A and B are shown apart, each in its own frame.
Chain A
Amino acid sequence: MSAAETTPPAALGRGAAAPRALWHVILVRPEAMTLALLILGVIIASQLSPFFLDINYILRSFTLSAEFAIVALVLTLVIIAGEIDLSPAANMALSTCLFAWAQASGIPMPIAIAIGLLAGLAMGALNAFMVIALQLPSIIVTIGTLTLYRGLAQIIAGDKSIRMPDWFIGIDKVLILGIPATVVIFTAFALVLGLILAGTIFGRQIYQIGTNEVAARYAGIRTRRIKLVLFLLMGLVAAVAGMLTASRLGSVRYDLGLGGELQMVLMAMLGGTYIFGGRGTILGTFLAAWLLVVVSTGMTVANLLPAIQLTVLGVLLIVAIIATNLIYSRTQR
């Protein structure tokens, strides 16, 4: 994972692994595979339809998945730390339903937003409590909470949609330097998280927890605290993402973001995040989000039916998982 090393000291003996060449470290990694797939995707998509290669159209299409992509960034951190969270999409729905219901009842917008964010945090805290304090497997816990949150959202919002005030709608249409605002937010957030993950001790500790939690704990890392922070961050970011979705759609329903958790996990997996933890990068997830958008947009504008799109995405996922595992096991890192 780190840059090229010098020859191992003679004291290590014949058993030490030979250092990897710099080009090997940079190129033979899952993110390179994601980048290669992305480029391949762009080429194939532009062959499928002459209408694809319009950068404004691609950026506009990205806004349809930008909210999921933002949450997928934090999900990457959670997976690297050895846990998983399948509840963020339902979290988005519940926190946004609470926010929408609050502001529709006349509560001033800033307080309604605060209610939504607090709800997101509370849901993250519930996940954290069950995973950390009760020591339950995070996959089971979050499958349970995803159902719970979605159900609560349906109780609060019923089957109706709650309309947003006109000034709130359309954040995806706001252009910053010609790029939709949600795409800018996604890129900025990816930069920040990427720097934290790669450059800070906190980031390094996330990798260590994911690699071997027991060893990390004995090494003095506060594993429980770090995991708590990650789950809370998930909850908070999911609430924010939910509100961005509400602004894009103009109304809030209980089925906001339905199926989103799969898209987020897909982005993380396609980006080369190792499902068992300990490996993965924000860059990978960033590229994978673009890959997903390119592939689905390319197929949609070529009028390919959803059945074909699902098949292609499934094949992509399998290829990515096989390649990721191959690369990681071969490079022994």
Chain B
Amino acid sequence: MLKKSLIALATGLALTTGALAQDKIDIVFIGKNTGNPYFDSLTKGFVEACEKIACNFEFVAPATAEATSQIPFIEAQVQRGVDVIAISPNSPDALNQVFDAARAKGIIVMTVNGDITGNESHRDLTILPTDFTKVGADQIEMVGSLIGYEGEIAILSATTEAPDQNFWIKGMNEAIKDPKYAKMKLVATVYGDDQPEKSTSEMEALMSNFPDLKGVIAPTTVGIAAAAQVVQSRGVADKVKVTGLGLPSEMRDFVKDGTVTAFQLWSPYNEGWLAAHLAVDLKAGKAKNEVGSTFEVPNLGTITINAGNSINTQSALTTFNAENIDQFDF
């Protein structure tokens, strides 16, 4: 008697859940490289979103962030027939052919956290963490305020091909022409390839080659952590100011002991969260990929699709310093 009713109950539940469950779409996010803590945060946004809405999520990334390293991974996802490919591109143009092949199969290609500059027609839309046109200017202002708007500064970037890095560096070069920064001089731009060892040696080289260096902008979380480490171990925090784009979790110790005064970023988690919600809505027909249209994302409000099918997760950079750094857990 008990067994029969249990079976009946189980069958009933199974049928009901079957009726309620929707078709889950498959989303894959291809990061720039593995071993990069920045993407852990982004991925967490995807993962937690997909626990609430109807998507299956996987994260893959190549071992190194070279221009062509993502190609085998994109081809594999096309082969698997996923619904959406989200990717932080390592190159502005090397992925064009493989993106076209994906889109020909009906896969939505969205670039996340950075766009393929000059080749935007090969992707469906881009989700940027913030208004990229302001990043260069904001970072120059940040470093200027730290060094009293006077002295030599340098940029420690990631890989030479990264489209997001190049966009910001261009913005920085433009911004520094402003008369407000007339006494500041950009002496070098070096590349740490998003590898901790190379970033460290590039930072050491900067400090040896430019003894009067006063500020370093590292718009990459791997670079800023490496630069801060070098400054901390050399004990020159009062002479050389390090700033850039960094993860609060990695920079917390440096801020607490005064090595780094302030740095900036956005919330990578929100990007993943937004991307997952948008992907599901697009596939379900609840949102349209058209310039000017809007859609709702829980916790983030109304999001607008801007010109060039581009979306900004938040409007401006968030500045982290000793006052607010404990409020963030990523």
**Which A residues form the contact surface with B (CB < 8 A)?**
49, 51, 54, 57, 60-61, 64, 159-161, 163, 170, 249-251, 253, 255, 258, 296-297, 300-301, 303, 305-307, 310
Contact = CB atoms under 8 A, between A and B. Distances in A.
A161 B67 contact: yes
Nearest to A159: B160
B110 interface: no
A161 B68 CA distance: 11
B303 interface: no
B161 A303 contact: no
Nearest to A49: B80
Contacts of B93: 161, 163, 250-251
A300 B73 contact: yes
Interface string B87-131: 000010110110000000000000000000000000000000000
Contact of B94 (A57, A250, A258, A301): A250
Interface residues of B, number: 26
Contact of A64 (B72, B79, B160): B72
B76 A303 contact: yes
B33 to A, nearest CB: 9
Contacts of A49: 80
6 shortest interchain CB distances as A-B pairs? A159-B160, A306-B63, A301-B76, A300-B76, A51-B80, A57-B79
A306 B97 CA distance: 23
Contacts of B60: 300, 303, 305
B278 to A, nearest CB: 22
B10 to A, nearest CB: 29
A250 B160 contact: no
B34 interface: yes
B37 interface: no
Contact of B72 (A61, A159, A307): A61
A49 to B, nearest CB: 7
Q: Among B63, B80, B93, find the residue whose CB has the most chain A CB atoms closer than 10 A.
A: B80
A19 B34 CA distance: 53
A54 B191 contact: no
Contacts of A300: 60, 72-73, 76
B61 interface: yes
Given A253-B67, A255-B66, A51 B34 contact: no
Q: Among A160, A296, A301, find the residue whose CB has the most chain B CB atoms closer than 10 A.
A: A301
Contacts of B34: 305-307
Given A159-B161, A170-B97, A303-B76, 6 more contacts: A51-B76, A163-B93, A250-B97, A251-B93, A303-B80, A310-B63
